[in-house]
Amino acid sequence: MQPRDTIKGLMGILMLVLAAASVQAQDKEATAEKQAQAGEAVLDNVTIIGRQSDIADIPGSVHVIDQEELQAFMQSDVMRVLRTVPGVYVQEEEGFGLRPNIGIRGSGLDRSSRIALLEDGILIAPAPYAAPSAYYFPTQRRMHALEVLKGPAAISIGPRTTGGAINLISTPIPDSRGGILDLRIGEHGITDAHLNFGDRGRRFSWLLETVQSQSDGFKHIDAQPGAGTGYDLQDYVLKARFDSDPATALYQSLRFKAGYTEQLADETYLGLTDEDFERDPNRRYAASAGDVFESEHGQLQLSYVIDSGQSWRSEMTLYRNDFSRNWFKLQSVNGAGISSVLADTTTYADEFAYLQGADSPDDAIVKRNNNRDYFSQGIQAEVAWDFQFADSEFGLTVGIRLHEDEEDRFQDEDGYRMQASQLIMTSDGAPGSTTNRISSADARSLFIDTEIRTGNWILTPGLRFEDIAMQRLDYSTDDPTRAAGPTRIRENSLSVLIPGMGVLYRLNPDWRLLAGIHKGFNPPAPGSSAAEESSINIELGTRYNNGSFAFESIYFLNDYDNLVGTVTASTGGSGEIGDQFDGGEVTVQGLELSADYSFTGIADGKLDLPVSLSYTWTTKAAFENAFDSSFDPWGDVQVGDELPYIPEHQLRASAGLQSSNWALNLAASYVGKMRSVAGQGDFLPNETIDAHLVWDLLASWQISPSFRSYIKVDNLLDDIYIAARRPAGVRPGLGRTAYLGVTFRL
C-alpha cells in the first residue's frame, strides 16, 4: 500500500469514527475502574519499560523523558530533547531536526541507523533491517514521552543492540473528552500548530491529532532572493480502541492506529568552505537552488491486548509502514563529487566557481533524483507472566516478531548549466538510469526476558534470537520496467543469539548498585560482504533517589570485535552507495552522570527551583587496529585513531523558576571539540568541529486553567557554530530563533 492510498483509507476511517463519536453516550467511570483492575497503564501506547513501575529498580541504564520535561521547553527538535540523556550523541544537519543523526555510546550517528528506533513499540525506520537510515523520523511535537535504553534491556527490542533503543511514545487517548491546541509563530517564517482531541468511553475511545508546521528557513541562496530554504510538514494521526465490557472477568482491548505524514523541505547536501562560513554562515551556493526533499509516510497498526488482571497479560500487533521519498539534490560538478570540490577548491577551481554561480557548460552540474520507496510490515507478540516461587518473585516475558521490509531505489540524474547564476536544465535522465535495485530482508525474532526479585537483588537475564535472510536485486539501468529480470542477485543470511544480563542490588531505600553485560549486534546490509557488527557491552553504576534528589553514575564499555561502516550519500565515500567496510576492533568507554533536584518552598512556599544536569565523559573512542578504507569518515586508519563525531565532553544543565501561574526555564548545552574524520594527535582545522555552548529559554504564563501563553527562544545568545562537516562542506547550527505561542486546553 502506498502512502497516498493510506491517506484515502484514513480519511474514510476518520469519517466513521466521527460518526460514531457523535452518537456515543457512554459511562466513562467504569472504564477507569476496569483498567485499574487489569493493571492497565494510563497510556494506550507500548512502552519498553513495561510493567516496572519504579525506574530506580531497573537493572540497567534507562531514561524516560516524560511529558512534564517535554513541556519545560516545548521542543520540536528531537535532538534538543535527547541532549538531556547522557551517553546519547547527536549531529545536527539542517537546523530543525527533521532528519536527526543519533547515536548511543559510540554506535555511530549517521541517519540514526545504528540504533533501534520505535514509535509506540514498533520499529519505525523506513526499512529497519534492509535500509535503516532514518530519512523518516516521527514528529517530535506529537510525542508524549521518550524512552532511551542503553543497557541489556535493549535486547528485547533488536535487532540493533550495540547502542540501544529509543522508543517515542505518541499522544495517548485522554482520560475524558478533551484535547489541546498549541499555536506558535516564530522567526524565519515559522508557523506551527499542534491539535489533538479525543474521548475515552466505557467501551469505545478515540483520538484525532495533527501537526501543521512550516518555515521559510534561516539560510539564503546566492542570486535567489526570496528562495525558500525551509520546510512544510503535515502530520495526521487517528487512534481508536474498543474495550471489553467492564463487567467481564478478562480484560480485552482492540486498538487501531493510523498515521500519515507529508514533508517538503528545501534542503541540500551542499555546505560551505571554512572561509565562506566565516563570512556568512547562513549562505548557500547558487548551485543548491532547487534542491528539495519530498516524502510521504503512512502507518497502520492493529493491536489486541488481553489481561487477566492477576498473573498474565499478552499483546499482539499487526503493523505496516510505507515510506516514499525523493531527495532531488546536487550530486556532482564536472564529474567531481561535491565533497571533493569543497575539500580542494584549488584543484577544482572551475567546479567551485560553477557552484557559486559562474557560467558553465551544459551538463556540468548534475542533480540526482534520489527516488526510493520503502515498506516494512509484520506481526509482533509477547506474553508476560508473574509468579512467585519460595521467597522470590518472577516475571517472564516471551516475545516474537515476524518481519519483512524492502527498499526500492529507482534513481536518475539530470544535467544543468549555470548561466547568470541561474540553473538551466540541459538533459533529463530516464527513470532508473542511475540506480535500479531492490534490497529486502525477512526476519524472524524471538526473545525471552526474565525478571527475578529475591531479597535485595533484582536480576534480568535475557536472550534474543535473530534469523535474518537478505537479498539485493540489481537491475539494468537500461531496463526501467525490470522486464528482463535482475542482472545480479546477491543474498546473505545469518542467525545469531544475543544474550544479556542486568543485576541490581538495593543497598537501602535510596541507594542502588547496578551492572549489566550484553552482546552488541548490528546486521550487515543485503548483499554485503562485510561481517556482522558485534561487541561486548558492559556497564557498572550506582543510583540514588530519595524522592527529591536523584543521581546516577554509570561507567560503560563497548568492546567491538568488528565495527561496520556504511557508505551513504550523507557520510561520503568513494565506494558505491550501500557499500560496507569492516572497521575491526574498536573500544568506546566513558562515564555518564545525571542528577535532578528541586528546591521547593522558596519565597514562603511560592516558588520551586528544579535543576538538572547530564554529563557524558567519553574517555576513549578509538580503533584498535590499522586498515585502509574508502569510507570518508574513517579513511586510512592507524591504531589509536579516534572515532569521528564523538566529543570527549558533553554537558547539559537546566534550571527553572516555577510558581502557580508562571514558569521560567533556562538550559545550556555544551558539546566539546570533536573530529569529523578519524585521527589522533593535533586536531586539523579542516577536520574539526569546535566546541560550542547553546542556551535555550522558555517563559510561560498560566492565564487561566485552560489557557497558557509562552515565549520560547532557542540559541538565546545567538552562538554561531559549525554543526557538521558532512555530507559536503561546513554546515551551520540554527541561530537565535524566537517563538511566541499559546496553548488552549479543549
pLDDT in tens, 542-581: 999 998 899 999 999 999 998 877 766 666 555 566 677 7
pLDDT at position 42? 39
pLDDT digits (tens, 9 = 90+) for 143-191: 999 999 998 888 899 899 998 999 999 999 999 999 999 999 999 999 9
Residue 117 · residue 149 · CB < 8 Å = no
pLDDT at position 293? 97
pLDDT digits (tens, 9 = 90+) for 463-480: 999 999 999 999 999 999
Asked if the model's pLDDT at residue 25 lies above 60, the reply is no
pLDDT at position 290? 95
Q: What CATH number should be reported for the domain holding residue 218?
A: 2.40.170.20
Q: How confident is the model at residue 628 (pLDDT cuts 50, 70, 90)?
A: confident
Average pLDDT estimate for 352-366: 97
What are the Cα distances from residue 267, in Å, to 165, 213, 234, 745? 28, 16, 17, 35
Distance CA 729, CA 555 (A): 35
Distance CA 161, CA 166 (A): 11
- The secondary element (H helix, E strand) that includes residue 619 is strand 607-623
Asked if the model's pLDDT at residue 3 lies above 60, the reply is no
What are the Cα distances from residue 137, in Å, to 79, 116, 118? 11, 12, 10
pLDDT at position 22? 37
C-alpha cell at 480: 526501467
Q: How confident is the model at residue 10 (pLDDT cuts 50, 70, 90)?
A: very low
Q: Which region among 31-35, 119-123, 272-276, 733-737 has the lowest average model confidence (pLDDT)? A: 31-35
pLDDT at position 574? 54
pLDDT at position 202? 92
Residue 343 · residue 319 · CB < 8 Å = no
Residue 453 zone, left/alpha/beta (φ > 0; ψ -120 to 50; rest): beta
Average pLDDT estimate for 500-510: 96
pLDDT digits (tens, 9 = 90+) for 191-250: 999 999 999 999 999 999 999 999 999 999 999 988 889 999 999 999 999 999 988 889
Distance CA 256, CA 253 (A): 10
Grid look-up 520546510 returns 231
Runs of H (alpha helix) within 263-362: 274-279, 338-343, 349-356
Asked if the model's pLDDT at residue 44 lies above 90, the reply is no
Average pLDDT estimate for 430-441: 96
Q: How confident is the model at residue 659 (pLDDT cuts 50, 70, 90)?
A: very high
Other CB atoms within a 10 A radius of the CB of residue 389 amount to 9
pLDDT at position 1? 44
Grid look-up 540504533 returns 115
pLDDT at position 713? 98
Average pLDDT taken over every residue of the chain? 90
Distance CA 545, CA 551 (A): 6
pLDDT at position 88? 96
What is the number of domains present in the chain?
1
Grid look-up 560482504 returns 529
**Percentage of the chain modeled with pLDDT above 70:** 91
pLDDT digits (tens, 9 = 90+) for 66-83: 999 999 999 999 999 999
Q: What is the bridge-based pairing of β-strands 580-582 and 586-601?
A: unpaired
Average pLDDT estimate for 361-371: 96
- Contacts of residue 697, defined as CB under 8 A and 6 or more positions apart, other chains included, come to 664, 665, 666, 667, 711, 712, 713, 716
Q: Which region among 70-84, 270-284, 564-578, 713-727 has the lowest average model confidence (pLDDT)? A: 564-578
- Between 717 and 573, the more confident residue is 717
DSSP designation for 484: T
pLDDT digits (tens, 9 = 90+) for 325-338: 999 999 999 999 99
Q: Which amino acid, one-letter code, is at 700?
A: S
Asked if the model's pLDDT at residue 455 lies above 80, the reply is yes
Q: How confident is the model at residue 269 (pLDDT cuts 50, 70, 90)?
A: very high
Residue 595 · residue 610 · CB < 8 Å = no
Residue 227 · residue 50 · CB < 8 Å = no
Q: Which domain holds residue 440?
A: 3-745
Gyration radius of the chain over CA positions? 26
Average pLDDT estimate for 500-521: 96
Distance CA 693, CA 229 (A): 25
Q: How confident is the model at residue 24 (pLDDT cuts 50, 70, 90)?
A: very low
SS3 403: strand
pLDDT at position 46? 60
Distance CA 578, CA 504 (A): 41
- Contacts of residue 583, defined as CB under 8 A and 6 or more positions apart, other chains included, come to 560, 562, 563, 564, 565, 623, 627, 629, 634, 637
Distance CA 194, CA 538 (A): 41
C-alpha cell at 237: 494521526
**Of 243, 209, 198, whose CA–CA distance to 21 is shortest?**
198
Q: How many secondary structure helices (H) and strands (E) does the chain include? A: 8, 39
The CB-side HSE value for 386 (13 A sphere, CA atoms) comes to 13
- Between 592 and 248, the more confident residue is 592
SS3 155: helix
Asked if the model's pLDDT at residue 27 lies above 70, the reply is no
Average pLDDT estimate for 672-689: 93
